[in-house]
Structure 1
Amino acid sequence: MPGTPRYAVIRYLGFAGAVLLAVAAYLGGALPPLPRNANPVALAQHGNGGWVMLTWLLGTSLLVWAWWSARYADPPIRWIYVTVGLWLLPLLVAPPLGSRDVYSYACQGAVYDAGGDPYTHGVAELGCPWLSTVTPMWRDTPAPYGPVFVLLAGAAVALGGTLWGSIALLRALTLIGVVLMALCVPALARRCGVQPGRALWLALACPLVAVHLVSGAHNDALMVGLLVAGLLVVAARPGHAGVLLAGGVLLGLAIAVKITAVVVVPFAALAAIPGPYRLPALLRHGAWVAAGVVAALLGSTLASGLGLGWVAGLSHSGDSVQWTSPPTALGIFIEYLGRPFGLRYHAVPVTRALGLVVLAVVLVVLWWRARHRNPLFGAGLALAATVALAPVFHPWYATWPLAVLAATTERIRWFVVPVAVACFLTLPDGNNLARFTKFQGTLFMAILTVVIAYRGLRWARAHRRAREAERAGSAAR
């Protein structure tokens, strides 16, 4: 129970971890570049590399330990709200941690607020008053986000005025997403027969939420919040046209923040059926969900005044090449194999393309199996497959499937272990550890990918044989 010493230790050690991470953010987080006339105090702060690493590692470890310790518990909802709120407070008043993406958001918002089109060129060409804060790799890249987020980023800059005012409002948007998760995950869990407190703890208390969604102000928070809300609305009243339309609108808004949310739409259409799966029922009720999605996408696109340029911007999302993506790691590994023989070839584009083909097949199989099972769990698996097979992986991507899977299944070990590992992948200043462990990480991920694929094929064969034996036994009877 929450009144026991164990729960008090979990709450306050996690809070201590959050405080240490806030200290790491001040000492060497994702801070703007120092001006040439920086005062000695600021320069000294940026020279404390050892203290930055110590506070980051200890703070992350405490937060992960606290989250991990209660992964099988079912705490009261109110206790979780208070605990997570306590953990978020230090990070809300600290500089961004673990990523510099929020500066890109601010610059894209500034371009839009000034009447420019962030989908045509990068912020370097279109002009941004805070260009020096943006990671050089992304200064010449058009915005890869949907029209809803560009509208919101523009509003944040218009209202915030300064860089830090804009960041504060962008963080407020992430809090809206976190609040939607906090309200919807327990209700979704109840519908799926999962303990609501356990589901909420896994989804909300995860350190990735505090560090990347809130401190880093990633727009993934808003996408996940809208996505979970849309799934809950659809599942709440299957067969009710108006409710399904509203659920589709929420899902469409999620897609108009980040396109990734589109993979859940076919599963939401299955959840819209009030009874057993039938194709006419799918067409009749799923059409309302699809109509809501299309209405939200068209409405937000028209409201932005930028047309469909955001679709073209998606092509640059794979510019980063890191071993944390299994298809990318496999391509890098194949390239390494040719080096001793003097062979130079580019395997990464090929393995990435194959990964997308495999993803398409997996999504179809998951949808087909979800027809007569829990389609909401299928949506979580679809998001997990998307994260695993996408050309690029960043730690905050793990929050996409986490929120849905936590609410739809009791079998959690297979996805909470990778999430816990992902918490340690980014340094306070936004650098990814993958940059410094390219060879070792590539070797590990390539071997892991082959082993998982081999075991998956063995499981599929065994499952097929079991079904054939069952059919043969039924025919004999």
Structure 2
Amino acid sequence: MGEPDAVPDGPVGPVAAAVARYAGLAGAVLLTIAGWLGGALPDAPLRTTLAGLWHAAYGPWTLGCWLVGTGLLVGAWWSLRWGAPSGRWAYLTAGLWLLPPLFAPPLGSRDVYSYACQGWSWTHGVSPYQVGVAAAGCPWTDAVSPIWRDTPAPYGPFFVLLAGLAVLAGGGLVGALVLLRVVAVAGVLLAALCLPGLARAAGVPTRRAAWLALACPLVGVHLVAGAHNDAVGLGLMLLGLLVLVRYPGKPRALVVAGVVLGLAVAVKAVAVVVLPFAALAAVLGRYTWRALLRDGGWHAGAVLATLLVTSLATGLRLEWVEGLAHSGDSQQWTSPPTAVGFVVDYAGALLGRKPHAVPGVRLAALVLLAVLLVALWWWAWTALRRLNEVRQRVIQMASARPRVTLLGAGLALAATVLLAPVFHPWYATWPLALLAVATRSPARAVWFVAPCAVASVLTLPDGTNLARFTKAPGAVLMTALVVVVAVRLVRAVPARRAR
């Protein structure tokens, strides 16, 4: 493959690179200042209007620092979307950008308080899958967002275990928050270690993959400062896939990868959509149904065993599966199916009817998601089967196999995030990481980089989601975007068949 990091896809001069690096760093510093002025501190009052945010103590300074900082960070990341000057430069710059948020209070969300209370509930003998943190008696309930105080935990038993250990070792709320951030940072570091191996395996320059996946503002604000459990889940998922890509067909490696991916699912269930593609990566040699059952069987068995062991070891059994049903309690236009449901309700109101379309549209989206996941897996399987018949150079075959499986998994995660009943900005980090290591064309990377840039501006430092204040216009714009994308996809089908 030569030296993929040596030559950029486009001209990146030293001056442009330096401007991007330090503009992003300035943005990260401003976001941290905004966090201390008006972030999601435990005793910060919950604001329900933009006016309330503006008239709060240091309100104008908080919003000013947040808006300017976000603009600088997003602009700097976007300016090098074609790739950083080198892999080393990308890692160093992303690391610089992540340092200020490391010392900020929780930013962009109050979910970390929910984690702490769920861990507290478990350590006090109350299942977080049966009752919300308020009913469990958590002493830090006031710091939790009201919508999640009475909602059972939607996370897996392994993360509940980690949250419980953080509470026990932390000795209080501040200590628990610090340790939960340590867990999140460990997840980001694990992802950073896995990215080069996955990118090289797929024939993608490390300098571009690392830049897109690590320098994205969503990582610093939500995974590091916000301490979201997506960080550790993402790190475990990438590690499991890396083991499979490097050691396909080897029973020990398949078991290790299965355990790691099982833990990823036991952190957050979204990782489950990657498992069918991981089974494809596990195959050694020619792709046949027999080989898939043989190598994929080892892998699947390890995943199931890990889920069973973690469920039983924590005493939570399979209660956590029931908790997933409550993850869609929130309704915001940032979820495309929810936005379409809102627009149908608005249209019905104009006609004097109340269709209550959101649940129906969400259900239809989940059915569509199931169809898409099957179609994506079948596409990956048939593409890999074709490689059995095509004579290519060994090095091309070596990069084609992992690229197909990683791209399929990334597209599956993107479909899951977009068609789920709820979308939060940090959800985008899952498909972003895989698509960054699997997309060879810089031009094609724009289609998933642009949504991540937009998602980076959807929240305020105290966790307020701007979607709350833009429900009607946001729903209309999102629905219009859905229609445009659907029309373009339909028009593209005949063109592809004609090729």
TM-score, normalised to structure 1, is 0.93
Long gaps (5+) in structure 1: 36-42, 468-477
1:56-92 CA-to-partner distances (Å, cap 9, x unmatched) read 0110111111111221124333333322222122111
What count of residue pairs does the alignment treat as equivalent? 459
Give the match for residue 414 of structure 2: 384
Distance 1:423 1:44 in 2: 20
> For residues 31-110 of structure 1, what are the structure 2 equivalents within 5 Å?
31-34=41-44, 46-110=56-120
Q: 1:194 aligned to 2:224? A: no
Distance 2:406 2:83 in 1: 22
Among candidates 394, 409, 428, match of residue 424 of structure 2: 394
Distance 1:319 1:261 in 2: 20
Q: 1:185 aligned to 2:195? A: yes
Contact 1:27–1:46, Cα closer than 8 Å, also in 2: no
> For residues 430-441 of structure 1, what are the structure 2 equivalents within 5 Å?
430-441=463-474
Contact 2:88–2:207, Cα closer than 8 Å, also in 1: no
> For residues 6-405 of structure 1, what are the structure 2 equivalents within 5 Å?
6-34=16-44, 46-371=56-381, 372-373=383-384, 374-405=404-435
Give the match for residue 475 of structure 1: none
1:393-436 CA-to-partner distances (Å, cap 9, x unmatched) read 00001000000000011220110011111100111111111100
Contact 1:19–1:90, Cα closer than 8 Å, also in 2: yes
Q: Secondary structure at the match of 1:276?
A: coil
1:438-477 CA-to-partner distances (Å, cap 9, x unmatched) read 110010011111121122122223323x26xxxxxxxxxx
Q: Secondary structure at the match of 1:334?
A: helix
Contact 1:335–1:345, Cα closer than 8 Å, also in 2: yes
Give the match for residue 400 of structure 2: none
One-letter amino acid of the counterpart of residue 385, structure 1: A
Contact 1:28–1:45, Cα closer than 8 Å, also in 2: no
Distance 1:363 1:190 in 2: 26
The 3 A distance-change label for structure 1 pair 89 and 199 is same
Contact 2:118–2:153, Cα closer than 8 Å, also in 1: yes
Q: Secondary structure at the match of 1:412?
A: helix
Distance 1:268 1:89 in 2: 33
Q: Sequence identity of aligned pairs in percent?
A: 61
Give the match for residue 444 of structure 1: 477
1:234-260 CA-to-partner distances (Å, cap 9, x unmatched) read 111111111111111111110000000
Q: Name the Cα RMSD after superposition.
A: 1.7
Distance 2:142 2:35 in 1: 19
Shift of 1:275: 2.4
One-letter amino acid of the counterpart of residue 446, structure 1: T
Worse-superposed segment, 258-267 or 85-94: 85-94
Distance 2:128 2:167 in 1: 14
Distance 1:8 1:162 in 2: 42
Shift of 1:6: 2.6
Q: Secondary structure at the match of 1:94?
A: coil
Q: Secondary structure at the match of 2:120?
A: helix
1:100-158 CA-to-partner distances (Å, cap 9, x unmatched) read 00000011111111222111100111111111101111111111100000000000010
One-letter amino acid of the counterpart of residue 256, structure 1: A
Give the match for residue 459 of structure 2: 426
Contact 2:30–2:65, Cα closer than 8 Å, also in 1: yes
Worse-superposed segment, 156-165 or 253-262: 156-165
Contact 1:267–1:376, Cα closer than 8 Å, also in 2: yes
TM-score, normalised to structure 2, is 0.89
Distance 1:159 1:308 in 2: 26
Long gaps (5+) in structure 2: 1-5, 7-11, 46-52, 385-403
Distance 1:8 1:463 in 2: 42
1:372-406 CA-to-partner distances (Å, cap 9, x unmatched) read 24111100000011011111100001000000000
Shift of 1:197: 1.4
One-letter amino acid of the counterpart of residue 295, structure 1: A
The 3 A distance-change label for structure 1 pair 361 and 206 is same
1:282-336 CA-to-partner distances (Å, cap 9, x unmatched) read 1011111101211211111111111111011111000000001111111110000
Q: Secondary structure at the match of 2:356?
A: coil
Distance 1:271 1:44 in 2: 51
Contact 1:118–1:142, Cα closer than 8 Å, also in 2: yes
